Copies of this chain bind each other. A is one copy, B any other.
Amino acid sequence: MAEAYQIQSNGDTNSKPLLELYVKASGIDARRIGADLFCQEFWMELYALYEIGVARVEVKTVNVNSEAFKKNFLGAQPPIMIEEEKELTYTDNREIEGRIFHLAKEYNVPLFEKDPSAEKRIENLYRNFKLFLRAKVEHDKGKKEPSRVEDLPAQIKVHYNRVCEQLSNIDQLLSERKTRYLLGNSMTEYDCELMPRLHHIRIIGISLLGFDIPHNFTHLWNYILTAYRTAAFIESCPADQDIIHHYKEQMNLFTNQRETLQSPTKTHTIPEKVLSDIRTKGLAPDVNVH
């Protein structure tokens, strides 16, 4: 039913709980990870526990349209987490997070620190991006290339402006805090939420909208660069083609063979100019050469 995608194991202590995470497969190839944001979010959180030896983690991709999957999980949708030892299946995001939360608490992992001001800045970003995406794709229907943002009618531009405003707010927050992650120097649930969403915005922006995250948001780009250097993010990140395919499918857009036949690739680099700004501002001390 499920193809083992990755088996991770560090150390052999039997006292560590084994958590199996079932994530949605790509619509292109069921052996590849799909672009479900909740799946990546929990995978990143579990990876954080795995890294410091708190849990053993196995991730499996599942084809949700297969009869075997439906029969085994009777209507539940990924992410699904199983803890065989306790005979527990967590099919609800609340339950999955609850279990991870308790493990983090037990081992003093600061994964769930609260920060209402950071929460406020990130909560609307993705919703507004989706509104912009839908409106612009509708507007561009039939065109060969995405229209330029400058030429958009006011009712679509308003969505674009909101997305930029929110990206700017996050850039500002990061510039004030001067931290590697949103709350400090270690990853929290907010990063597990924001990093995958920023990456989707970037990949879909470029491929479907003729839109890129503004290059002057240096702190935000530096944060994206941090994602690209964070194992929890890299491991759990779907290929560009699988992200694009996911959105095209939802919007009923013509899927050309560009995505489905290409070898999967992951864009984990940032524009040269931005990288040079980051270097100039001394934001990432380790960014010296490119």
Beta-carbon contact of B252 and A75 below 8 Å: no
**For chain A residues 230-259, which have a beta carbon within 8 Å of chain B?**
246-247, 249-252
Q: Within the assembled complex, what's the spacing in Å between the Cα atoms of A285 and B16?
A: 51
Beta-carbon contact of B74 and A130 below 8 Å: yes
Beta-carbon contact of A72 and B127 below 8 Å: no
Q: Within the assembled complex, what's the spacing in Å between the Cα atoms of A94 and B252?
A: 28
Question: Which residues of the partner chain B approach A70 to less than 8 Å between Cβ atoms?
Answer: 249-252
Beta-carbon contact of B250 and A71 below 8 Å: yes
**For chain A residues 94-117, which have a beta carbon within 8 Å of chain B?**
94, 97
Beta-carbon contact of B88 and A127 below 8 Å: yes
Beta-carbon contact of B92 and A247 below 8 Å: no
Say yes or no: is A38 at the interface (Cβ < 8 Å to chain B). Answer: yes
Contact A74 B134, CB 8 Å, known A38-B92, A92-B38: yes
**For chain A residues 65-83, which have a beta carbon within 8 Å of chain B?**
67, 70-75, 77
Minimum Cβ distance to chain B for residue A126 (Å): 9
Q: Within the assembled complex, what's the spacing in Å between the Cα atoms of A251 and B38?
A: 25
| Consensus secondary structure, chain A interface | helix
Beta-carbon contact of A75 and B133 below 8 Å: no
Question: Which residues of the partner chain B approach A72 to less than 8 Å between Cβ atoms?
Answer: 134
Beta-carbon contact of B88 and A124 below 8 Å: yes
**For chain A residues 154-179, which have a beta carbon within 8 Å of chain B?**
none
Q: Which of A88, A92, A252 has the most CB of B within 10 A?
A: A92
- Beyond contacts A35-B75, A70-B252: 12 other A-B pairs, Cβ-Cβ < 8 A, are A36-B75, A38-B92, A70-B249, A70-B250, A71-B252, A74-B133, A75-B246, A77-B77, A92-B93, A93-B93, A94-B94, A94-B97
Question: Could you jot down 12 A-B contacts, CB within 8 Å?
Answer: A67-B252, A70-B250, A70-B252, A71-B250, A72-B134, A74-B247, A75-B250, A77-B77, A87-B124, A87-B127, A88-B123, A94-B97
